[in-house]
C-alpha cells in the first residue's frame, strides 16, 4: 500500500499546481484531486468551435505568470516540460466611437507620440510616468507580493519608509486607496487616455469609482509599455500542462473526475478527505483547498471559528463574465487598420459608460452597453488556427450571474439558457460597430455564459472570473478574511489557496506560491 501523501490538494487550478510544484521540489509527496475532466481551472485551451481552432477558455494573458516569483524560481524546469511563451510588443489598445484609437506598445517613444495626439500635456505626463516606473513599480510590487502577516507587513513598511521616506510612503498608501477615476482625473486631461487605462480596472471588478482600483490601470499601462504582453504558445494551457508534467516528474499525482465530498478533521486538525465515491485519503502534513470560500464551509461542515465561518459564507463575488469564442476566416476590419496588430482591443468608450455598465450588472441587469475585450491571439501566435485563419477571444464584462432584467429593455429572458444568444448578439453588435463586416467572417461560435463558467469551475461563482471582489474590505489582510490572508484556517493543517486568498486573482499564482513557501519554509 502506498504511503500517505504529505499534502492533498482539492482542485487543480493554477494556484494548486504552483503550490504542488514548489512543495514537490522541497521533497513533499503531493496528490491533487480535481472534479473536472482536465486540470487548470480557468487556464485551459480547447477546440471549442471548429477543429484546428484553439481557444483559451477564460484566461489568456500570461504576463503575470511570466513575471511571477514562481516562474523566476522554476523557469528552467517548466521550460523543460514544454512551457512556451508567445510575446507581443503591442499588448493593448482602445477604440472609440469617434473613430480614434489609442494603443500602448513596447516602444515608449511610439506610445508617447500616440498620447500626444490626444494631449500634449498628457504626453509630458506619460513620459514622466515612464521614467519613474522602474523605481515606483518595485515599491508597489513589493506590497502586492508580500505575505499578509504582521511580521511581513512590519518589515515591508520599514523598508518602504527607508526607501521613499515619510512623504513617499504616505503617497503610496494614498495611491493604493484611490479609485481609477480619482487617479486618472488627477493625472490626465484627455478622456480618451483616461478610458484606455480605466478599461483595465474592468478586468477585475474595479469600475472607475471603486476605491483601491487605481493601481491596476497604472500597472497595466506602464508594464504593457515596458514589457509587452505574454501569451502562451499554442494556448494558455501551456502553463497548466508544464506544471502538471513537473508534478508528475517529481512523483506527484493528479486525479481528474474526482470530486471531493468532505474534508475530514478531528479535534480541530485536518487529516484527509473523502471523495464522492466514498474513498478516504489521508494526508500527513496538509490538506490544501483551492475552493471558493463558501465551499470551504460546505466541505468542513464548520471551520470551528464563528467569525471565520461567517466571513466565508458572506464572501462577496464580483459580477460575472460572458465569453464568446469565435473561429474566424480573417481578422476584423477595424475602423483603424492598425488595431489588427494588438493582442487586446478594448471597446470601453468612457469612464461613465464603464461605471454604468458595472452598476447595471451589480443590480442584476444585462448591461445596455457591456465592455468588450477582444483578444486577437492569432496575431501573436498563428499556431492557434489553420493557416490564414484566426480566433477571437471575446470577454463581455460585466454580466450578472443571476439575471433580474435587461437595462436596455429588449431581452425578456431571465434564464441564461435563453438570454445568452440575444446578449451575445448585443456584444457582437458593438464589435460590428467598430469593425464592420466582422459577422460575415465568423466560421464558428461558442458562447460561454456565467453559469457555464461556474458549472465548469465552481470557484467562478456567478461567472466571477477572479473568485471574489478585490474591493478594499476584501483585499490585502482581509482576503479572504482578517487573520487568514496567509492561507491558514481555524482548522490545523487545513490551508486555503486560490484567487479568493491574498494576493488574489490573476495568472501570477501568488496565493499558491506564498502558501508553498510558508509550508516548506522557503
Question: Per DSSP, what are the bridge partners of residue 137?
Answer: none
For the segment 341-366, the average pLDDT, to the nearest whole number, is 98
The pLDDT score that the predictor gives to residue 492 is: 98
pLDDT at 198 over 60: yes
The pLDDT score that the predictor gives to residue 167 is: 72
For the segment 465-473, the average pLDDT, to the nearest whole number, is 95
For the segment 218-231, the average pLDDT, to the nearest whole number, is 96
107 and 200 together in one domain: yes
Find, among 258, 260, 279, 283, the residue nearest to 270 by Cα: 283
pLDDT at 356 over 90: yes
Cβ-count burial 417-440 (b if 16+ within 10 Å, e if not):
eebbeebbbbbbebbeebbeebee
In a domain, 145, yes or no: yes
In a domain, 2, yes or no: no
Question: Residue 479 belongs to what H/E stretch?
Answer: none
* DSSP-H helix ranges across 81-214: 108-116, 120-144, 150-177, 180-187, 191-198
Question: Which cell numbers in the block locate residue 64?
Answer: 503575470
pLDDT at 164 over 90: no
Count of CA atoms in the C-beta half-sphere (13 A) of 207 = 18
DSSP 245: H
State the CATH number of the domain containing residue 370.
Answer: 3.30.519
400 and 509 together in one domain: no
309 and 329 together in one domain: no
pTM higher than 0.85, yes or no? yes
311 and 323 together in one domain: no
Distance in Å from the first CA to the final CA of the chain: 31
134 and 202 together in one domain: yes
For the segment 361-365, the average pLDDT, to the nearest whole number, is 98
Domain edge (last residue) among 227, 259, 288:
227
Number of continuous H segments (helices) and E segments (strands) in the chain = 17, 21
pLDDT at 15 over 50: yes
The pLDDT score that the predictor gives to residue 3 is: 82
Percent of the chain with pLDDT over 70: 96
pLDDT at 154 over 90: no
199 and 291 together in one domain: no
Domain that holds residue 148: 92-227
122 and 214 together in one domain: yes
pLDDT at 430 over 50: yes
508-517 residue pLDDT tens: 999 999 999 9
Integer Cα distance of 202 and 209 in angstroms: 11
345 and 437 together in one domain: yes
pLDDT at 169 over 80: no
In a domain, 1, yes or no: no
186 and 256 together in one domain: no
Question: Per DSSP, what are the bridge partners of residue 274?
Answer: 262, 280
- 8 Å CB contact between 265 and 303: no
pLDDT at 175 over 90: no
The mean predicted confidence, pLDDT, of the chain is 95
pLDDT at 458 over 90: yes
- 8 Å CB contact between 495 and 289: yes
Question: Which cell numbers in the block locate residue 467?
Answer: 473568485
Confidence of residue 447 (pLDDT cuts 50, 70, 90): very high
Region of poorest pLDDT, from 29-43, 167-181, 269-283, 358-372: 167-181
Cβ-count burial 156-185 (b if 16+ within 10 Å, e if not):
beeebeeebeeeebeebeebbebbbbbbbe
pLDDT at 441 over 90: yes
The pLDDT score that the predictor gives to residue 380 is: 97
Angstrom distances, CA of residue 357 to CA of 40, 347, 370, 453: 30, 12, 6, 20
259-277 residue pLDDT tens: 999 999 999 999 999 999 9
Integer Cα distance of 407 and 191 in angstroms: 25
344 and 423 together in one domain: yes
* DSSP-H helix ranges across 201-236: 215-227
In a domain, 111, yes or no: yes
In a domain, 247, yes or no: yes
State the CATH number of the domain containing residue 482.
Answer: 3.50.50.60
pLDDT at 156 over 60: no
pLDDT at 1 over 50: no
DSSP 68: S
Handedness of CA 334, 185, 64, 314 (dihedral sign): negative
357 and 436 together in one domain: yes
Domain edge (last residue) among 425, 456, 487:
456
The pLDDT score that the predictor gives to residue 159 is: 62
pLDDT at 376 over 60: yes
By three-state DSSP, how is residue 374 classified? strand
329 and 417 together in one domain: yes
In a domain, 137, yes or no: yes
Domain edge (last residue) among 436, 456, 476:
456
In a domain, 35, yes or no: yes
In a domain, 461, yes or no: no
Confidence of residue 147 (pLDDT cuts 50, 70, 90): confident
pLDDT at 178 over 80: yes
Number of domains the chain is built from: 3
Amino acid at each position: 500500500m502506498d504511503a500517505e501523501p504529505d499534502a492533498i490538494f482539492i482542485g487543480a487550478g493554477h494556484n494548486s499546481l504552483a503550490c504542488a510544484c514548489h512543495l514537490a521540489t522541497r521533497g513533499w509527496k503531493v496528490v491533487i484531486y480535481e472534479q473536472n475532466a482536465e486540470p487548470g481551472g480557468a487556464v485551459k485551451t480547447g477546440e471549442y468551435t471548429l477543429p484546428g481552432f484553439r481557444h483559451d477558455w477564460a484566461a489568456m494573458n500570461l504576463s503575470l505568470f511570466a513575471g511571477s516569483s514562481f516562474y523566476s524560481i522554476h523557469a528552467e524546469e517548466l521550460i523543460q516540460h514544454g512551457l512556451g511563451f508567445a510575446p507581443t510588443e503591442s499588448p493593448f489598445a482602445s477604440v472609440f466611437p469617434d473613430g480614434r484609437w489609442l494603443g500602448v506598445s513596447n516602444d515608449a517613444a511610439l506610445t508617447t507620440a500616440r498620447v500626444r495626439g490626444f494631449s500634449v500635456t498628457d504626453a509630458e505626463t506619460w513620459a514622466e510616468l515612464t521614467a519613474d516606473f522602474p523605481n515606483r513599480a518595485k515599491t508597489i510590487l513589493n506590497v502586492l507580493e508580500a505575505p499578509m502577516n504582521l511580521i511581513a507587513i512590519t518589515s515591508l513598511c520599514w523598508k518602504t519608509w527607508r526607501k521613499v521616506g515619510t512623504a513617499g510612503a504616505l503617497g503610496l498608501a494614498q495611491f493604493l486607496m484611490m479609485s481609477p477615476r480619482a487617479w486618472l482625473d488627477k493625472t490626465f486631461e484627455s478622456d480618451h487616455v483616461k478610458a484606455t487605462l480605466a478599461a483595465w480596472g474592468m478586468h477585475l471588478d474595479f469600475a472607475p469609482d471603486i476605491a483601491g482600483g487605481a493601481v491596476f490601470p497604472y500597472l497595466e499601462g506602464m508594464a504593457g509599455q515596458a514589457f509587452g504582453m505574454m501569451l502562451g504558445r499554442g494556448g494558455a494551457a501551456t502553463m497548466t500542462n508544464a506544471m502538471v508534467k513537473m508534478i508528475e516528474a517529481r512523483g506527484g499525482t493528479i486525479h481528474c473526475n474526482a470530486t471531493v465530498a468532505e474534508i475530514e478533521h478531528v479535534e480541530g486538525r485536518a487529516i484527509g478527505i473523502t471523495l464522492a465515491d466514498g474513498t478516504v485519503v489521508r494526508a500527513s502534513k496538509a490538506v490544501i483547498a483551492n475552493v471558493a470560500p463558501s465551499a470551504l464551509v460546505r466541505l468542513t461542515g464548520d471551520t470551528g471559528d464563528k467569525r471565520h465561518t461567517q466571513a466565508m459564507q458572506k464572501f462577496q463575488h464580483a459580477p460575472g463574465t460572458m465569453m464568446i469564442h469565435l473561429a474566424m476566416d480573417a481578422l476584423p476590419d477595424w475602423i483603424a487598420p492598425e488595431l489588427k496588430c494588438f493582442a487586446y482591443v478594448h471597446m470601453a468608450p468612457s469612464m461613465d459608460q464603464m461605471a454604468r455598465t458595472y452598476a447595471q450588472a451589480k443590480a442584476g441587469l444585462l448591461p445596455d452597453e457591456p465592455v468588450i475585450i477582444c483578444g486577437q491571439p492569432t496575431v501573436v501566435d498563428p499556431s492557434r488556427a489553420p493557416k490564414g485563419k484566426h480566433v477571437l477571444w471575446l470577454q463581455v464584462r460585466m454580466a450578472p450571474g443571476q439575471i433580474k432584467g435587461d437595462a436596455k429593455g429588449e431581452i425578456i429572458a431571465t434564464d441564461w439558457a435563453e438570454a445568452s444568444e440575444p446578449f451575445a448578439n448585443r456584444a457582437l453588435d458593438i464589435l460590428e460597430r467598430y469593425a464592420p463586416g466582422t459577422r460575415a467572417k465568423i466560421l464558428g461560435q461558442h458562447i460561454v455564459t456565467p453559469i457555464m463558467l461556474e458549472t465548469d469551475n465552481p470557484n467562478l461563482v456567478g461567472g466571477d472570473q477572479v473568485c471574489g471582489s478585490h474591493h478594499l474590505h476584501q483585499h490585502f489582510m482581509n482576503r479572504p478574511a482578517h487573520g487568514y490572508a496567509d492561507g491558514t484556517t481555524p482548522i490545523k493543517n487545513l490551508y486555503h489557496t486560490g484567487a479568493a486568498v491574498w494576493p488574489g486573482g490573476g495568472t501570477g499564482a501568488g496565493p499558491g506560491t506564498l502558501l508553498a513557501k510558508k509550508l516548506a519554509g522557503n
